[in-house]
Structure 1
Amino acid sequence: MNFKQAAQDILADVGGAENVTNMTHCATRLRLNLADRSLADDEKISAIPGVLNVVYQAGQYQILIGTEVPKLYAEFEQAVAVARGDAPLATNQESTDKGSIISRIFSAISAIFAPLLPALAGSGILRGLLILATQVGFIKTGTGTYTILYAASMSVFYFLPILLAFTSAKRFGASPYLSALIGSALLYPDFINLMGKAGNGVVTHFFGIPAVLMNYNSTVVPIILAIWAYSYLYKWLDKHVPESLKLVVLPMVSLLVMVPLTIIVIGPLGVYSGEAIAAFVNWLIARSSILAGVVVGGGWSILVSMGIHWAVNPIMINNIANNGFDYICPWTFACNFAVIGATLGVWLKARDQKLRSFAVTGFVTIALSAIIEPTLFGLLVKNRKIWLAQIIGGMAGGAYLGLTKVVTNAFVFGSVTTFPAFIEKNGMNFLNAMVGLAIAFVVGAILAYFFTKRDEKLA
C-alpha cells in the first residue's frame, strides 16, 4: 500500500482539509470528524487501494485500513498540515537528512521543540506571574492556591522527557505513543525511589548489569538520544514482525529493550557529560573569574539547548548553602538578559508580525520567569546569527559580572522578578549586577538588530 498516495486520495475524497475538523485512529481505523458529511464520497474512498471498508458511526467517518493504520495516519496528518499551510512540503525523512551534520542536528532540534513552544511559553508566563504574586504577598507559598498554580506552570518542565519523546518520535520516524511510554518509565515514582535520598549516581542492577540512576525530570539529551536509537529498532521491528503480531509483539519488544537500554547506557551519558561540565566550571572559576564569566555567560544557552545545564545547579546550591553566596548564578543572569536583548533587537528590525509577536512573548516570558527555552528553540537555534548575538551579549555581561565579583545570596533563575537575590550589605553588588545585566542586554539587542534581516521569518 502506498500510504502517502492513499492519504492524499482520502483527503481529497472527504472534502479536503477544510472539511476535517478532527482526526485520530484506533487499532484498525482512520477516524475523522467532518464538518459536512455529504462532501465525503464513500464509493471513491472504498475504491482506494488499501481501504477495506467505510462506515459512519457515532458522528465519526471511519475508514477501515487494518493494523497498518498508524502509517496511513502519519501521512494523512502530514497531508492535512500541508494543505492548511501548517507544514512545509518537504518534511519527509529523505529531505531532512540532506546537508551537513551540523545542519541536520539543528534541523532535528528545531523539529523536536517547535511543537512544544506554546506550552513552554505559556508555562513560563504563568510561572513569572506566580513569582511576582508571591513576592508582593498576594499569594503565600505552601498554600493550596500556590501549589495548584505551581503545578500548572511547572508540569511542562517536569514531564519534558515525555513530551520530547513524543515529538522526537515524529521527527525520527518511531511510534510517538510507545516513545512517550519510554519517557514515562524514566519518571515513574518507583523507579525514582530507587535512588532513595542519595540522589543521582546511585547504582542498581538489571539482571546483574549495573545501572547508574539519575532523576530524569526536566532533562533533554537522554530522551532524545533514546528515541533516536529507538527509531532504528522500531523500523526494524515494523519491517520484520508479521502484521498479525504487531499489535502485541512490537510494543512489548520496544519497551523491553528500550527502557533498560536507556537507563543502563543512554541515560548515564547525560549524567557524566553534566558532571564534566560542572568540573570544568569549578576549574575555570579557580583560575579566572573574568574568563569564567565569559564562558558561562556566553555558553549557558548552549548548555540549556543540550539540557545539561542542570548539572551546574548543584554547585550553585552548594555554594549558597555553605558560603551564603554564589558567583555562577549571576553569569546565568547575563545569558538570560542577553536573550531578552536579542528578542528586542529582532522585534525592532523584523517586519514579519508572527516573528515580532514571538519575540515579544519571549521578552515577557524571560523577564518574568527566566525561562529561555521557548525563545532558544523557537528563534535562536533556527537562526545562528541571532544566537551568536545572544552569546556575545552573554559573554560581555558575564565578563563584567566576573570582573566585579557580583554574587547572589540565593539560588534563583535570572529574571527581573529575582533581582532581590543581588541585594547585599555592600550596595555595590546590586549596582554592579544591574550594570552587568544592562551590558548583556544592550550588546545582545544591538547585535541581534544588525544580524536580523527585515524579511526574517519565524521558521
Structure 2
Amino acid sequence: MELSKSVASIIAHVGGKENIVNVWHCMTRLRFELVDYDKADMEALKAIPDVIGVQFAKGQVQIVIGTTVEKFYTEAMKQLGLDAAKEADKAPADEPSGEKKGLVSQFMDLMSGIFGPIVPAIAGAGMIKGLMTGLVALNVISNTTDTYLIIDMLASGVFNFLPFLVAASEAKKLKTNQYLAIALATVIMYPTMVNAAAAGEISNFYLFGMIPVPVFNYSSSVIPIFFGVLLMSYVHRWVDRIIPSAAKTVIVPTLTLFISGILTLTVVGPIGIYLGRGLASVVNTVYDISPVLCGVFFGAIRPVSILVGMHHAMTPIAMENFASQGWDMLMPMMFVANLSIVGAAAGCYFKANSKSEKTVIGGAVLSGFLGITEPALFGVLTKYKMAFVAATVGSVVGSAFISFFGVRLYGYITSSVFSIPAYIGPYFPFAVLGWIITLAVSFSLSYLLVVKMNRSSELSN
C-alpha cells in the first residue's frame, strides 16, 4: 500500500487526528497516546498491509511497522500538521481523559520514548566498536595505530557524550525546550568537571564558598541527565508561568538554566550517580551470588519485555555497567533472547500452510538475525502462542548457560549477528556454545509444540 494511504488509514483507525494526544516512534514501532483508547480499532489496524502487529501496552497503542518506521512517522507528522521541532518546545500535554497511567507505566513509557530514538546512534557506534574490538582480538589491527585511534573516535564519541543524546531525546519526549536540555548536559560535561574527576585530587567544588558541588565524571552516564532534564521541564514550566510575556525571551531561559544547572550539579546529578551505581550494584550482586539465577531471571523477562515495548528499561543499567566497570553481562543475554525468538519463529516455518506465510516467517527469521525481532514476535509468535513459550524457555536456558561461564561484553553493541566479532576473546567459546544451545532449544521446542503436537491432535480427531 502507498505510504500516505497506509498512514492515513492508521490515523483514521486510532480515532482520527482529534483523538491523538501524542505520537512518536522507536526503532520499529509507531507509538500513539490517545484521548479515548476505545476509539482505536485494533483489528482494522492489524489489517493494514504495512502493519506487522498492533498492541496496547504502557498506556500506548503501539503499531509495529519495522525498520521503515521513521518514514511512517514523518508522514504521520505531516498529515497531522505537526512539526517535530516545534512540538518539542511546547509544554507537556495534559493527562488525557480517561484512566491515568500508573507510575511504573509512566516510567516505562518515558524510558522507551527516550531510548528508542537514540538507539540507532548507539547501535551504529556500538557496531563499529564491536568490529574493531574483534579485529584487535584477532591481531588484524593494533590498537596503537592512528587508524584504530581515528575509528575509535567514531565509535566512542557517542558513548562519551551520551548525556547530550539523552538530554535531547528526553526533552523532545517531555515536550520541553531541547536546546536548554542540551545546555544542561554541557554543564555536567564541562571540562572543569570532567578534568577534576579524572585528576581525582578533590571531591567537591564549593559554590559561594559553602555549598558543596560533588565532583563526578558524568561521561557515558545516563541517569544523572535523565533526572536533570526531568527537573528542568518542571522548572521551565514554572518560570514560564510566572514571568511576564514581555520578558520571557531572555528571562525564562536564563532562570531555567541557572536554577536547573545549580540543582543538577548539587543535588540531582549526584543522586543520579549514586542511584545508577546502586542499580548496577544490585544486578551485579545477584549475578555474583548466582550467575545462573541472574541468567534465568533476565532470560525469562526479555522476550515478554520486547513484546510489550519495555526492553529499553534495561539500557540504563547496561550503560551504567559499561561506565562504572567497563563491561556488562546483560547485553549478551539480550542477544541470546533475540536468538531464542529467531529459533522459535524458524520452528513455525514447518507449520505454515501457504507460500506467503512461509515467506513471512522466512523474512522474520532473517530480520531477527539482523537484530530486529518484532516481525518474528508479532508476525509469528503471537499467532503460534506455544512458540512464544519455546522462545522464552530457549532464552532462559541460553542466558543461564552464558551467565554461568561469565560471558560479557566490553562495549554497547546491537544484539545481532554483526555483533559476533565483539565477543572474540576469552569468553568467545562459551558465547558460541550458548548461541547454539539457545537456537537448538527454541527451535526444537517450537517445532515440537507447534508442529508435532498439533499434527498429533489433528490425527487423534
TM-score, with normalisation over the residues of structure 1? 0.58
Shift of 1:169: 1.3
Verify: 1:82 aligned to 2:70, yes or no: no
* Separation (CA, whole Å) in 1 of partners of 2:446 and 2:255: 48
Q: 1:110 and 1:275, CA in 2 relative to 1: closer, same or farther beyond 3 A?
A: closer
Deviation string, structure 1 residues 263-316 (Cα, Å, up to 9, x no partner): 222122232223334543564456444324435666899796351335545886
Q: Specify the alignment match of 1:421 in structure 2.
A: 425
Alignment of 1:349-388 (within 5 A): 363-364=369-370
Alignment of 1:333-352 (within 5 A): 333-342=332-341
Verify: 1:275 aligned to 2:268, yes or no: no
Q: Specify the alignment match of 2:19 in structure 1.
A: none
Contact 2:220 2:323 in 1 (8 A): no
* Separation (CA, whole Å) in 1 of partners of 2:139 and 2:221: 32
Q: Specify the alignment match of 1:226 in structure 2.
A: 228
* Separation (CA, whole Å) in 1 of partners of 2:235 and 2:389: 37
Deviation string, structure 1 residues 99-135 (Cα, Å, up to 9, x no partner): 3333332332232233323323332333334334444
- Matched positions, count: 341
1:110 counterpart (98, 112, 115)? 112
Q: 1:330 and 1:170, CA in 2 relative to 1: closer, same or farther beyond 3 A?
A: closer
Contact 1:127 1:154 in 2 (8 A): yes
Contact 1:221 1:270 in 2 (8 A): yes
SS in 2 for 1:94: coil
| Farther-moved stretch of structure 1 (213-222 vs 133-142) | 133-142
Contact 1:412 1:421 in 2 (8 A): no
SS in 1 for 2:425: helix
Contact 2:318 2:330 in 1 (8 A): no
SS in 1 for 2:424: helix
Verify: 1:240 aligned to 2:239, yes or no: no
Aligned residue identity for 1:246: K
| Farther-moved stretch of structure 1 (123-132 vs 145-154) | 123-132
Contact 2:203 2:214 in 1 (8 A): yes
Verify: 1:305 aligned to 2:309, yes or no: no
* Separation (CA, whole Å) in 1 of partners of 2:163 and 2:123: 17
Contact 1:96 1:107 in 2 (8 A): no
Deviation string, structure 1 residues 64-103 (Cα, Å, up to 9, x no partner): xxxxxxxxxxxxx99647359999x9x9723669433333
Shift of 1:176: 0.7
Deviation string, structure 1 residues 294-346 (Cα, Å, up to 9, x no partner): 356668997963513355458866xxxxxxxxxx9666523333235446767
| Farther-moved stretch of structure 1 (354-363 vs 222-231) | 354-363
Aligned residue identity for 1:94: D
* Separation (CA, whole Å) in 2 of partners of 1:281 and 1:190: 32
Shift of 1:224: 1.9
* Separation (CA, whole Å) in 1 of partners of 2:156 and 2:198: 23
Shift of 1:233: 1.1
Contact 1:220 1:306 in 2 (8 A): no
CA-atom RMSD, angstroms?
Answer: 5.0
Shift of 1:231: 1.0
Shift of 1:160: 1.7
Q: 1:204 and 1:342, CA in 2 relative to 1: closer, same or farther beyond 3 A?
A: farther
Q: Specify the alignment match of 2:434 in structure 1.
A: 436
SS in 2 for 1:308: helix
Q: 1:148 and 1:304, CA in 2 relative to 1: closer, same or farther beyond 3 A?
A: farther
Alignment of 1:2-13 (within 5 A): none
| Farther-moved stretch of structure 1 (433-442 vs 248-257) | 433-442
Q: Specify the alignment match of 1:93 in structure 2.
A: 93
Which one has a bigger Cα radius of gyration? 1
* Separation (CA, whole Å) in 2 of partners of 1:375 and 1:361: 7
Deviation string, structure 1 residues 5-30 (Cα, Å, up to 9, x no partner): xxxxxxxxxxxxxxxxxxxxxxxxxx
Report the identity percentage.
Answer: 26
Q: Specify the alignment match of 1:7 in structure 2.
A: none
* Separation (CA, whole Å) in 2 of partners of 1:448 and 1:156: 39
Q: 1:391 and 1:345, CA in 2 relative to 1: closer, same or farther beyond 3 A?
A: closer
1:250 counterpart (227, 249, 252)? 252
SS in 2 for 1:307: helix
Q: 1:291 and 1:102, CA in 2 relative to 1: closer, same or farther beyond 3 A?
A: same
Aligned residue identity for 1:182: L
| Farther-moved stretch of structure 1 (245-254 vs 413-422) | 413-422
Aligned residue identity for 2:425: A
1:173 counterpart (169, 175, 186)? 175
Q: 1:230 and 1:431, CA in 2 relative to 1: closer, same or farther beyond 3 A?
A: closer
* Separation (CA, whole Å) in 2 of partners of 1:110 and 1:410: 23
* Separation (CA, whole Å) in 1 of partners of 2:235 and 2:399: 44
Contact 1:294 1:396 in 2 (8 A): yes
SS in 2 for 1:204: strand
Shift of 1:178: 0.8
Task: Structure 2: state its 5+ residue gaps.
Answer: 1-74, 306-310, 350-355, 414-418, 448-461
Alignment of 1:378-417 (within 5 A): 395-402=396-403, 405-407=404-406, 415-417=419-421
* Separation (CA, whole Å) in 1 of partners of 2:425 and 2:234: 47
